[in-house]
Amino acid sequence: MTFEQDSLQQLRLLVAEDSEDDYLLLLGELERAGLHPLSVRVETAEAFRQALQKPWDLIVSDHHMPGFGGVQALGLRNQLAPDTPFIVVSGTIGEETAVEAMRLGASDYLMKNNLARLVPAIRRELAEAQQRSAGRQAEKELALSQERFRLVAQAASDVIYDWDALNDRAWFSDSLQARFGYQDKEVDKARQWWLERLHPEDRPALEKALAVSQQERRESWSWEYRLKRADGTWATVMDRGQLVYDPQGRPLRRVGALIDISEQRQLEEQFHQAQKMEVLGRLAAGVAHDFNNLLAVVTGYCSLLLEDLPVESKQRTFLEEMHHAGETGASLVRQLMAFSRKQTLKPVLLDLNSCIADVSKMLRQLIGQDVKLVNLLEDDLGQVRMDPSQLEQVLFNLAINARDAMPQGGSLTIQSQNVMLDGSVSASALGLAPGAYVKLTVSDTGFGMDQSTLQRIFEPFFTTKEAGKGTGLGLATVFGIVHQSGGAIGVESASGQGSKFEVYLPGAEETAQEEQAKEVTPESGRGQGAILVVDDTNTVRFMAKAILEARGYQVFEAGDGQEALRVCQEFSGVIRLVLTDYQMPVMGGEELVRRLYQEWPGLQVVMMSGEMEEGQRSAEAQSLPYLGKPFSAQDLTSLVRQVLDGDPQSWPQN
């Protein structure tokens, strides 16, 4: 049995007929065709109405019945079951009546004395009804699909597009305006519209990639490029979609999404930049550490020799020049230490506005008359905890950088303001924790920088100035100082549009006034007692020993912590002070101090180093008096006298 025969066998038939004989005649016609439908006969309008509450495959109705007829039945059918086929069967029906029945929605009409067409009519109507049902279902599914697509496109933050390649027309979702600022929903000449908004550097590769994809009939498309926003800025997008072709291989459509990944790429670039700066910082710190030891020897011996030479000596002039050169080298080392965030800081509570006001007095002389200095300082500015000398260096270096960018004059603006960074991109993009910050902005109207320069401005020794005009350490120093102080720095610039540096410093929670450092004047005269100098660099150790012996101290020396312990154990007298380097092989300064305090609790210790990074030392080591390398003879002897004879609160500490 075919599917069509099976559907006829299961036919649910509703018959409106007042004559039992005519009803049986109709069923007999169906049975002769081998059909045994499930049928119900009704005679009145109310019975017909009640029957229509159930589903039927076909309705057959007499045209004339007492108090009820085909026209009334059609009306009820149209109201309650409009999709059910309706066939009129009558013994007497004229042409006009038949036409009216068809106009009202009847599918066919038959004469009772000629039912030969009954089964073919039923078969035809069921087939057409099935087609209509399938069509309506397809329309419903299409409408549902379109509604679902509309909701997805509306909810999606990415831009969904449908590009009709044959007509070169594109449709975009509403996100196009939210993401890129364009109000277009549909675009004619879509290919040209797209190409005009591509970054010039990306356009050739994209045109080639699209052509290759079409030639090879690739179904998927994925490409990253830069797209111009309506405001003229550039967004980095990931374009992913599907290509549809006709049987001849011609492209018909491209359907996909434009995903704005600008923030993601910015964060990745910042991460890679941070990694690069970290590597450079470690390199700079290593170079600075070794260089510090050399400079300590030069400046130490120079200061020692200068004490024994008369003022009129010709050799004194040479030594003073050597000492000055050593101090200049030490200044460069301090900048390297600032970049690597391993310099010695003395943070205190600072009013940034007061610092800007004080520095501005000197900046006006530094930047020259052709540059206008403007201060925009916010009232009730929060305090920051920072080394005041380092903050001044940040201001000076940024101002000098701005001045050099304006050789013909211009405007330099220094602005301060309170800002609150939240937990979204505003904080994470800077690598900072959410919270309250004080923002320092230094902007100029100079010639600006291109992107390649922007990517390297904080690298040590990178400079765009002529040879001999700069060391390339100014902005690297700023970078290190800001980050070591717990802040972050960003820069915005473009060729011909000036530069703007934004420094974010954590707001200080304390409200206490800045503590005044107590100064202790060391007593004059020669020193007494035994001192142990511990350093793995022979030249530094020998130099420190010579300076202290010249002051009258008995000096022992050791090249590492273990040797220092042996010296202390073997010495029969009392060692009053141990001067030890922080970083040494075998046993470092911090471990040495712990071992010394276990056996000689009252021993005085001075820690010396060219780099002592906060957070890597114990609280005990941080509380020790500190001597930074390189140091002069006066620095060394003055600190030794303070530690042995002075107030512990006056000791310089790291």
CATH number at residue 221: 3.30.450.20
- C-alpha span between 270 and 583 (Å, rounded): 32
Q: How is residue 642 written in tokens?
A: 């303070």
- Using left for φ > 0, alpha for ψ between -120 and 50, and beta otherwise, residue 249 falls in left
Q: Is residue 140 part of a domain?
A: no
Phi and psi at residue 378, to the nearest 5°: -80, 135
Claim to verify: residue 77 and residue 41 sit in the same structural domain: yes
Domain harbouring 626, CATH code: 3.40.50.2300
Range of the domain at 484: 348-506
Q: Is residue 517 part of a domain?
A: no
Claim to verify: residue 287 and residue 333 sit in the same structural domain: yes
Claim to verify: residue 593 and residue 535 sit in the same structural domain: yes
Claim to verify: residue 49 and residue 17 sit in the same structural domain: yes
List pLDDT tens digits, range 17-73: 888 888 888 888 888 887 788 889 998 989 999 999 999 988 988 888 888 888 888
Claim to verify: residue 278 and residue 242 sit in the same structural domain: no
Domain count, the chain: 5
Domain harbouring 441, CATH code: 3.30.565.10
Claim to verify: residue 364 and residue 487 sit in the same structural domain: yes
Beta bridge partners of 501: 442, 491
**String of DSSP letters for 499-546:** EEEEEEEEBP---SPPPPPPP-PPPPS---SEEEEE-S-HHHHHHHHH
Q: Is residue 149 part of a domain?
A: no
Q: Is residue 460 part of a domain?
A: yes
554 three-state secondary structure: strand
Claim to verify: residue 499 and residue 352 sit in the same structural domain: yes
Quote the crossing angle between the two packed helices 352-367 and 388-404, to the nearest 10°. Answer: 40
- Consecutive 10-residue averages of pLDDT for the chain (654 residues): 50 89 86 84 91 90 83 89 87 73 82 82 81 73 60 62 87 83 84 89 88 84 88 89 83 85 76 62 60 71 76 75 69 54 62 86 79 90 83 83 87 92 67 88 90 77 57 70 84 89 85 42 62 89 86 90 91 90 86 89 84 54 77 83 68 48
H-state helical runs in 156-310: 175-180, 190-196, 203-215, 262-308
Check residue 145 and give its pLDDT. 59
Claim to verify: residue 415 and residue 482 sit in the same structural domain: yes
- C-alpha span between 489 and 503 (Å, rounded): 4
Question: Which among 133, 168, 184 is the end of a domain?
Answer: 133
- C-alpha span between 639 and 521 (Å, rounded): 10
Give which of 409, 493, 379, 408 is closest to 443, Cα–Cα.
Answer: 493
Claim to verify: residue 27 and residue 115 sit in the same structural domain: yes
Question: Which among 230, 260, 290 is the end of a domain?
Answer: 260
Claim to verify: residue 187 and residue 73 sit in the same structural domain: no
Q: How is residue 62 written in tokens?
A: 């007499």
* Residues counted in the chain: 654
Give which of 124, 383, 428, 404 is closest to 270, Cα–Cα.
Answer: 428
Say if residues 39 and 15 touch (Cβ distance below 8 Å). Answer: yes
Fill in the amino acid letter for 401: N
Q: Is residue 414 part of a domain?
A: yes
471 DSSP 8-state letter: -
Give which of 539, 546, 531 is closest to 292, Cα–Cα.
Answer: 539
Claim to verify: residue 214 and residue 277 sit in the same structural domain: no
Other residues' Cβ atoms within 10 Å of the Cβ of residue 95: 7
Check residue 614 and give its pLDDT. 45
Give Cα 403 distance to the centre of its chain.
32
Q: Is residue 151 part of a domain?
A: no
Q: Is residue 144 part of a domain?
A: no
Phi and psi at residue 603, to the nearest 5°: -70, 140
Claim to verify: residue 367 and residue 501 sit in the same structural domain: yes
Check residue 442 and give its pLDDT. 92
Q: Is residue 513 part of a domain?
A: no
Question: Which among 235, 260, 285 is the end of a domain?
Answer: 260
